Amino acid sequence: MDQFTNSLQGIWTSFVAFLPNLLGAILLIVLAWVIASLVKKGVTKGLHAINFDQKLMRWGVANTTDDGNRMIESIGLILYYLIWLFFIPGILAQIGLSSIAVPITNMFDGFLAFLPKLFAAVLILAIGYFVAKFVKELVQNVLETINIDRFLNKYIQKTGQTSAAKVESNRFTIARVLANTVFVVILIPVITMALETLQIRSISEPIVNVLNQVLASIPNILVAVILLIAGGLIAKLLGDLLEGLLTSSGVDKYSKYLSRNNPQMKLSTIITRIVQTVLMIFFVVEALNVLNLEILNTIGVAIIAYLPSVLIAIVILGLGIFGGNALSSFVKDSTGSRMTGEIVKYIVYVLAVFMTLDQLQFASSIVNTAFLFVIGGLAVAFALAFGLGGREFAKKQLDRLDNKMQEEAKQIPGTASKTEVEKEIDSFE
């Protein structure tokens, strides 16, 4: 009996010793619930009071008012549980569960130590964003004041675009594009500073390296853009000058040999467009070299190396079309047979196409083999048609040719028929 009494006294003593800790834990739980509930209620009511749901809709975060209200309630719940998390380590420590509370305490200590860095990064981003937006608006207003988009408007009027195309093009005016470019250029170092402020090496270092590379390449990009603009202007000026010279030289009179179905096709225009394209290719390749990207440099070198073959192929194809049409017109005028002229034209076309493909080095062995098969097939088809189905036609044509040759021989002075010669020889003998 004494042993049981001692046990009860020990339990009571332990309970009395634990009672202050238990009361402290209960007090902390009540305090955490009160503070969390007040913060949740105050934040949600405050956000509703300032119509934060409407702002979420304007920012594009929420689609409807109900979505905005649900997001506000979610913000209140997040703050509610965060306050509970702050009190949990103290509650666990009061009831003697310090081993469980230590990891949570360490986590909150790290989070609290990270809060100033996070606040500084958010502050840098906010200030940088407003500065970049201010500079963007300033640049756009200045460019619109000097009417830098007049060149684009002239192009739209010249090309005769529809109203829908004009509206679409106004969304990408030169002023807006340049203003957005300035906005991005300003944001890149701001984002870099914000990431470095967070001091999260595993996240910040790769992103910062990429942003530094982008920032370092911006001057090269600007030089490349200037090269492209200068190339376009030079190609336009030289093209207009060359087209004027070719037009005044009278080369367009040979345009009829290019295509009779399209009389608007001018030889001077075609030559001018080819020259402009070649000039732009040179400027594009040089712009790629300025970017100092190995892949683009390799592509540029390959383009320049292949360009002579392309130019020769264009010359061959142009001469083939020009010669085919000219020869077709000559045959039609000489023989009066339109079919013969068309056959000659397409034969020259085929030869020009095969020569062009061979010059471009498009599967040379296949192209050469196909050409031999085509020529061989045409020869066999002609031989079979002429030998089997056209014997009577061939006999008549050969007879006509023989009679014509005899008539021409009679009309030549100093010639005589075979019978008269034989008579003279017989009388002489």
Out of 271, 292, 313, pick the residue that ends a domain.
292
Q: Which pLDDT belongs to residue 165? A: 44
Total domains in the chain come to: 2
The domain in which residue 86 lies consists of 18-95
Q: Which pLDDT belongs to residue 219? A: 83
- Taking the CA atoms of residue 43, residue 48, residue 52 and residue 56 in that order, the dihedral angle to the nearest 10 degrees is 100
The tens digit of pLDDT for each residue in 294-328 reads 777 787 778 778 778 888 888 888 788 777 777 77
Residue 106 lies in a domain: no
Per-residue pLDDT of the chain (429 residues; tens, 9 = 90+): 566 666 666 666 776 666 777 788 888 889 989 999 999 999 999 988 888 888 888 877 778 888 888 888 998 898 898 888 888 877 877 777 767 767 777 777 777 777 788 888 889 988 999 999 999 999 888 888 887 766 656 655 555 554 444 444 455 577 888 888 888 888 888 888 888 888 777 776 777 777 777 777 778 888 888 888 888 888 888 888 888 887 877 777 766 656 555 556 677 788 888 888 888 888 888 888 888 777 777 877 787 787 788 888 888 887 887 777 777 777 777 776 677 777 778 888 888 887 878 777 776 676 667 767 777 776 666 666 666 656 666 667 667 767 766 776 666 555 444 445 444 444 444
Out of 63, 95, 127, pick the residue that ends a domain.
95
Q: Which pLDDT belongs to residue 381? A: 63
Residue 225 lies in a domain: yes
Residue 242 lies in a domain: yes
**Distance, CA of 48 to CA of 42 (rounded, Å):** 10
Q: Which pLDDT belongs to residue 12? A: 65
Q: Which pLDDT belongs to residue 11? A: 66
Residue 228 lies in a domain: yes
CB of 144 closer than 8 Å to CB of 176: no
Q: Which pLDDT belongs to residue 425? A: 45
Which residues, in sequence order, are CB contacts of 298 under 8 Å at separation 6+?
Answer: none
Token pair recorded at residue 428:
């002489």
The tens digit of pLDDT for each residue in 214-254 reads 777 778 888 888 888 888 888 888 888 888 887 877 777 76
Nearest to 316 by CA among 276, 347, 358, 277: 358
Residue 45 lies in a domain: yes
Q: Which pLDDT belongs to residue 38? A: 93
Instruction: Please give the C-alpha separations between residue 14 and each of 3, 97, 194, 206, in angstroms, as whole numbers.
Output: 16, 16, 54, 57
Q: Which pLDDT belongs to residue 112? A: 74
Q: Which pLDDT belongs to residue 416? A: 46
Token pair recorded at residue 249:
């030289």
Residue 29 lies in a domain: yes
Residue 72 lies in a domain: yes
Report DSSP letters for 167-206, one per residue.
HHHHTT-HHHHHHHHHHHHHHHHHHHHHHHHHT-HHHHHH
Residue 229 lies in a domain: yes
Residue 71 CA from chain centroid, whole number: 38
Out of 267, 292, 317, pick the residue that ends a domain.
292
Q: Which pLDDT belongs to residue 34? A: 92
Q: DSSP label at 343?
A: H
Nearest to 145 by CA among 175, 105, 109: 175
The tens digit of pLDDT for each residue in 364-406 reads 676 667 767 777 776 666 666 666 656 666 667 667 767 766 7
